[in-house]
Chain A
Amino acid sequence: MNRTEPLVLGIETSCDETGIGIVRGRTLLSNTIASSMDEHARYGGVVPEVAARAHLEALQPSIEAALAEANVSLSDLDAVAVTSGPGLAGALMVGVGAAKALAVSLGKPLYAVNHLVGHIAADVLTDDGAAIEYPTVALLVSGGHTSLLLVRDLTTDVEMLGETMDDAAGEAFDKVARLLGLPYPGGPQIDRAAAEGDPNAIPFPRGLSRASDMATHRYDFSFSGLKTAVARWVEQRRDAGEDVPVGDVAASFREAVVDVLVTKALNACRDYDVPRLLLGGGVIANKRLRDVALERAAAAGVAVRIPPLSLCTDNGAMIAALASELIMSGRPASTLEFGADSTLPVTEIQVARA
């Protein structure tokens, strides 16, 4: 196996994106994504069975499209990589089954890796070619997860500082959008509505930010109380026969989410004396989150890295990139003895190491 610039195909099926990525070393050759998001829209959120069925149908055409785009053939590959977890179990299993059979068929090594660490690995594929500097704090925000990580080394040492205790931030956007009568997915809708609103109009609560919470949940997040507060505020207006100022509600809600995300991430940077913050996950598409993070990080002397959005949302390239890093650092492949692990801890960067 080429361990200097391995050619790796990555398979990612942890949620509603079927992601096939191909990388050579740290160079991105293809980032092919088939999303079933439209199929979930009418249900107001990701339906696991719908997502899993869509993965099965999208896998083969996505692999073929990725190979064509990268202009390589399967026999050229040095390794196959797959997300073992965390994520939706039924969705993950499609990718795991596919990756194992592909690896056996090709006689190539298989690397089973952690989805969250994959989000961090996406950064090695950014065009500037600069390697990730360690340690770095990473804030991963999506519809499926909200995690604050301390990364001392991408391939050996990733620590979970905190995560959401209830809803993921992206889920909170979807739910609040729904109660404002806006369609799924909620993120872009809230953003559009918020453009005309005042972010300081309504003082929505910042979850797990009181002094008493900060002792035990300094880096954890909670968005379900915020969602309820927004619902209550909107209901009271409606019940009183008043108009709901959708722009102000959206802007104030978004501000509460962004504030707590950025505050806790920068707390971690300060507490661990780490002047670097990496952002990842689909919610990073939210411009307000990026702007506030950049502005407050600059004031705190923290350098922010944000991979291109196509590498922030769930994708197979990040899975291939993580495997590529593992290969370049000399790590052996995974055995075939692993499954989908919907709650895989972030400390398990690679599973079933031989």
Chain B
Amino acid sequence: MFLAIDTSLGTAVAVVEDDGVIAAQATSSDPRGHAEVIGTLIQRALAEASVDASAIDAVAAGMGPGPFTGLRVGIAAARTFALGRGIPVIPVASHDAVALELLLFDALAGGFQDAPDEPFAVVTDARRREFAYTVYRGLDADGLPVRVAEPALTPRDDLDGILETGSILRRDAEAIPAGMLGLVAARAVAAGRSVASSDALYLRSPDVTMPHGPKKVTPAAAAGAGAADGGTR
């Protein structure tokens, strides 16, 4: 049985059986406050699935992309939960969960027609006037969404232009379905495949400003004649 945790948007936790049946989901849509709710959501998901922690055999971790501060809470939680039980962490690209949900829904809604798979982009808010997006097309033989392009960031205004060029449908997501994250992990494990890196998908370097020389504190007029020759700076 899988415990799935994602904090790349809100906070989402699910318990998923090995055959992909979603036993329980517990979510909070608060885009902040991940650290506040993560413990209770894990507890609630386990309780709703009527299992305790010892029933979990692997933890699916949503690796992003997503705003850093929240994203880390879920990854940290997935790692320590797994450590506590001595079980593996299965890293999953968070957009894969959305893609799988869309593809499964389309398969149901579309009946049995064998329509060719259209490329589509899962799009999430990356803050700072940027979107994070990943392009998919259909499911592979293992039932996993096929990533045509890896997760990337783009200025919000540029996204539609980029997608149009490739005739890619835009599918915005407000939340990551943890049950689907667990299902991606279950299918990956069943197929003996690794589907994501175990590094957080930050897609951005940390914000840092390199220090300049110390700022001058002496008012120019008070600095005296010596300032005229430029001092040491």
Contacts and interface: CB of A to CB of B under 8 A. Distances in A.
Contacts of B38: 97, 100-101
Contacts of B80: 59-60, 63, 98-99, 101-102, 105
A90 B232 CA distance: 39
B9 to A, nearest CB: 15
B137 interface: no
B75 interface: yes
A239 B226 contact: yes
Contact of B218 (A59, A63, A89, A235): A235
Contacts of A43: 208-211
A235 B206 contact: no
Interface string B202-218: 10001111110010111
B69 A90 contact: yes
A52 B72 contact: yes
B19 interface: no
A99 B41 CA distance: 14
Given A93-B72, A93-B73, A235-B218, A60 B79 contact: yes
Contact of A102 (B72, B81, B207): B81
B223 A235 contact: yes
Interface residues of A, number: 52
A49 B72 contact: no
Contact of A228 (B35, B206, B217, B231): B217
Given A52-B69, A101-B77, A239 B223 contact: yes
B218 A97 contact: no
Interface in A80-129: 89-90, 92-107, 110
A93 B34 contact: yes
A105 B233 CA distance: 57
Nearest to A42: B210
Given A231-B214, A235-B216, A238-B232, A50 B208 contact: yes
A139 to B, nearest CB: 28
Contacts of A96: 35, 73
Interface string B44-88: 001000001100100000000000110011111111111111000
A307 B132 CA distance: 48
A147 to B, nearest CB: 24
Q: On chain B, which size bracket covers the interface?
A: 35 or more
Given A49-B208, A63-B83, A89-B69, A97 B231 contact: no
B15 to A, nearest CB: 12
A97 B224 contact: no
A238 B217 contact: no
A105 B85 contact: yes
A104 B51 CA distance: 12
B43 interface: yes
B149 to A, nearest CB: 25
Contact of A232 (B40, B53, B218): B218
B200 interface: yes
Given A50-B208, A89-B69, A336-B39, A101 B33 contact: no
A238 B187 CA distance: 68
B68 A106 contact: no
A337 B36 contact: yes
B42 interface: yes
Contacts of A47: 206-208
A74 interface: yes
B227 interface: yes
A64 B7 CA distance: 24
Nearest to B205: A49
A179 B212 CA distance: 10
Contact of A339 (B33, B53, B84, B207): B33
B231 A52 contact: no
A60 B206 contact: no
A104 to B, nearest CB: 5
B158 interface: no
A200 interface: no
B140 to A, nearest CB: 30
The 5 A-B residue pairs whose C-beta atoms are closest, nearest first, are: A105-B84, A100-B39, A336-B39, A101-B77, A49-B206
Interface of A: 42-45, 47, 49-50, 52-53, 55-56, 59-60, 63-64, 74, 89-90, 92-107, 110, 175, 178-179, 228, 231-232, 235-236, 238-241, 336-340
22 contacts: A44-B211, A49-B208, A53-B200, A53-B202, A56-B75, A89-B69, A97-B7, A97-B35, A101-B42, A101-B77, A101-B84, A104-B39, A104-B81, A105-B84, A106-B84, A178-B211, A239-B226, A240-B224, A240-B226, A241-B231, A338-B36, A339-B35
